[in-house]
Structure 1
Amino acid sequence: MTFTYLDQPELFIGVSDEETRCDLCHQQKPCFDAAGFFGEDELAFICPDCLSNGRLYERDSYTCQGDVTELKRQLNEANPALSKADIDDLADQKTLDLEKTTPHLVTWQDWEWPCADGDYARFIGYGSKPLYRQLAGDSDAQSLFEKSLYYTLAEETDAEEVWEDVPKKAIPDYAASSKYSTLFYVFKSLHSDRIITLWDSD
């Protein structure tokens, strides 16, 4: 099960244990819960095939909200020769791809999906000290965490203090994440090794 902007949805999103009727193809199969989607069209379930194949383009329904303002800024910075209209078109297409074909990531609060290097980043897991150590390699895990805080959080967050709240044990899946009142969401750029962290609380 592969999605551009979300890694291992079977772990971090989960599909129904029993076959359920997909609201779009009307087949009985394992499905994602669609009750948390945004938009006017209410859906109960959507199968991975319908989601990845872009069936939400037919509906006023989307799974998340991208940080389109920051995306346009990054695209403009990387492509100064492009016109504003071209930048807007490129950003709008990437945003539609994100919002219409990405599984719905359940979070404590609503926030905009982060971007890096002129594209939306890929969710790779829940932040924990073991995960940051793995991502840091030979570098310092705490330093990686502090540098990874998304710009929307960086100025208002005491990164050193918040590091103390990062779980000491790995969080392998969505079921394990529900035990925490504060969660860290880790993303990786599609085009570099850059790591981005968002966090929220219940």
Structure 2
Amino acid sequence: MDFKYFANPELYVGFLADKVACTGCDIVKECFDATGFYGQEKIDAICTDCLGNGKLIGRSISTCEGDATRLKQQLRQLNPSLSWPDIANVVKLKTDELEKTTPQLVTWQDWLWPCSDGDYCRFIGYGSQVLYKKIAHDGRGKRLFIQSLTMDSDDVDADELWDEYLPEKEIKDYQDSSDHSTLFYVFKSLHSDEIKTIWDTE
């Protein structure tokens, strides 16, 4: 199943080793592990159809947390004629769609899912020098990587991150990612070529 905010979850999330009963439909099938979801409710597993079709909407459980504050700011800039209640309604709809119909991206630290151009971004894979060079229109992968970093900090040396921590070779899937102690999560805007990168270390 294709997910709006998550490309190729079969690579970057995978399924439980054995088929189990989905909490949403109670059918024994391939499911995502749901034990790490956020919220007051606890479930064990959910299939792609139930997750994608919104079976978590209305329940106190989610797969991630969207940067709703920044999304609200973006929508206000893009739609100055909209009232704050209208903007708040759009933010709620988009945030529910993200948090309750998107596979869980397993990370070491908790951080907010990025947004761009008035919508949440789509996770497209783990960062590597190969990936940035591939998606950079001018071939300048390092420049794209540095521009895409979302964390503003005087303590972060972007050149050092590229040279010392960003893998040269492609990280193909979740299993491959376990060989790295620092990971870079790459997101793409749904409405432009803007790339955003969040990095994480164990």
- Category of TM-score, reference length = shorter chain: over 0.9
CA deviation after TM superposition for structure 1 residue 188, in Å: 0.3
Q: Pick which of 15-24 and 171-180 moved more.
A: 15-24
Q: Secondary structure at the match of 2:38?
A: coil
2:175 match? 175
Q: Secondary structure at the match of 2:86?
A: helix
1:135 match? 135
TM-score (norm 2): 0.96
2:6 match? 6
Matched, 1:185 2:185: yes
Matched, 1:155 2:153: yes
Q: Secondary structure at the match of 1:70?
A: helix
- Identity, % of aligned pairs? 53
CA deviation after TM superposition for structure 1 residue 51, in Å: 0.1
Offset from partner CA, 1:55-109 (integer Å, 9 cap, x none): 0014211000000000000000000000111111111110000000000000111
Matched, 1:93 2:93: yes
- For 1:184 and 1:201, locate their aligned partners in 2 and report how far apart those are by CA, in whole Å: 9
Offset from partner CA, 1:17-55 (integer Å, 9 cap, x none): 321111121100000000110011101100101000100
- The one-letter code sitting in structure 2 at the alignment partner of 1:127 is G
Which stretches of structure 1, 4 residues or longer, exceed 6 Å deviation after superposition? none
2:20 match? 20
- The one-letter code sitting in structure 2 at the alignment partner of 1:23 is T
Q: Pick which of 51-60 and 187-196 moved more.
A: 51-60
Q: How many residues align?
A: 200
Gaps of at least 5 residues in structure 1 are: none
- The one-letter code sitting in structure 2 at the alignment partner of 1:121 is C
Q: Secondary structure at the match of 1:73?
A: helix
Q: Secondary structure at the match of 1:55?
A: coil
Q: Secondary structure at the match of 1:23?
A: coil
Offset from partner CA, 1:135-157 (integer Å, 9 cap, x none): 1133311100000011xx13342
2:109 match? 109
TM-score (norm 1): 0.96
- The one-letter code sitting in structure 2 at the alignment partner of 1:163 is W
User: Where do residues 28-107 of structure 1 align in structure 2 (5 Å cutoff)?
Assistant: 28-107=28-107
- The one-letter code sitting in structure 1 at the alignment partner of 2:100 is K
- The one-letter code sitting in structure 2 at the alignment partner of 1:54 is G
- For 1:72 and 1:166, locate their aligned partners in 2 and report how far apart those are by CA, in whole Å: 31
Q: Secondary structure at the match of 2:57?
A: helix
CA deviation after TM superposition for structure 1 residue 16, in Å: 2.1
